[in-house]
Amino acid sequence: AEREHLSRSVHDGVLQTLALVARRGDPELAALAAEQEVALRRLVSGRLTVLPVGQVDLRALLPVGADLHLAAPAGPVLLPAHRAAELAAAIGAAVDNARRHGGGQAWLLVEDEPAGVTVTVRDDGPGIPAGRLAQAQADGRLGVAQSIRGRVEDLGGAVGVHSTPGQGTEVELHVPR
C-alpha cells in the first residue's frame, strides 16, 4: 500500500515534470530528464535489480549527459561499494576533462571482465600536447595525477592516457576485482 501511494505521488508530480522537460527542454536538459524519468519509473515500479550485500552496480554511478555516449553491459557491473565509488570518481574526473578540453563529444566504454573492470573515456578534442601532463603536475594541477591515476592505483589498478594532438584523448582505467 505504501509503495502504491508513493508511486502515485511520484507519478503525479516528479515524473510528469521530467516528462515535460524531456519534451520541451533544450536538448541536453531533455536527454538528462528522460534518463532520470526512466530511472525513477524503475525505482517506483519495484523493478530494480537486487544486488549482493556490499556490492554496487558501477553503471548507476556513471556520469550522464547528451554529450556522453555510453556503451556498457546490459547487466550489473558489480564491485564492492568503496571500489565502485572510487572508480566512479576517477571516471567522473576523466569525463569532466573530456568535456572541458574535448571537442564536445565524449565516449564511455565499460568492460566487465572476470579479472576486473576496464573503463575507457575518449573525446574528439584537440588532444594533449607532449609534456603537458608532466607540466600540469609540476604546476600543482593534480587532476590526472591524483583524482584519476591516484584513485585507480590506490585500488591496485592502472591508468593509461593516450593522446595525439588533433585527434582527441583516450583515458583507460582498469581496476581488478
Q: What is the pLDDT of residue 109?
A: 97
CA distance 119 to 68: 14
Query: Can you state the angle between helices 16-24 and 27-45, rounded to 10 degrees?
Result: 150
Q: Where are the domains of the chain?
A: 2-45, 55-176
Q: What is the pLDDT of residue 32?
A: 66
Q: What is the pLDDT of residue 155?
A: 96
Q: What is the pLDDT of residue 160?
A: 94
Give the up-direction half-sphere exposure of residue 81: CA atoms within 13 A in the CB hemisphere: 4
CA distance 115 to 99: 30
Q: What is the pLDDT of residue 99?
A: 86
This prediction has a pTM of 0.68
Q: What is the pLDDT of residue 10?
A: 66
Q: What is the pLDDT of residue 34?
A: 65
CATH number 3.40.50.720 given to 55-176: no
Q: What is the pLDDT of residues 111-163, one digit of tens each?
A: 999 999 999 999 998 888 777 766 766 776 655 656 799 999 999 999 999 98
Q: Give the H/E segment covering residue 55.
A: strand 55-57
Q: What is the bridge-based pairing of β-strands 116-123 and 169-176?
A: antiparallel
CA distance 162 to 150: 17
CA distance 115 to 137: 31
Using alpha carbons, select from 98, 99, 67, 110 the residue that is nearest to residue 169: 98
Reading the block at residue 69, the C-alpha cell is 555516449
Low-confidence residues of the chain, pLDDT below 70? 1-3, 5-7, 9-12, 25, 28, 30-53, 133-134, 136-137, 140-146
Q: What is the pLDDT of residue 63?
A: 85
Reading the block at residue 65, the C-alpha cell is 549527459
CA distance 156 to 40: 34
CA distance 8 to 121: 39
Q: What is the pLDDT of residue 112?
A: 97
Please, is 90 exposed, middle or buried when counting C-beta atoms within 10 Å of its C-beta (0-12, 13-18, 19+)?
A: buried
Distances (CA, A) of 125 to 106, 148, 165: 9, 19, 9
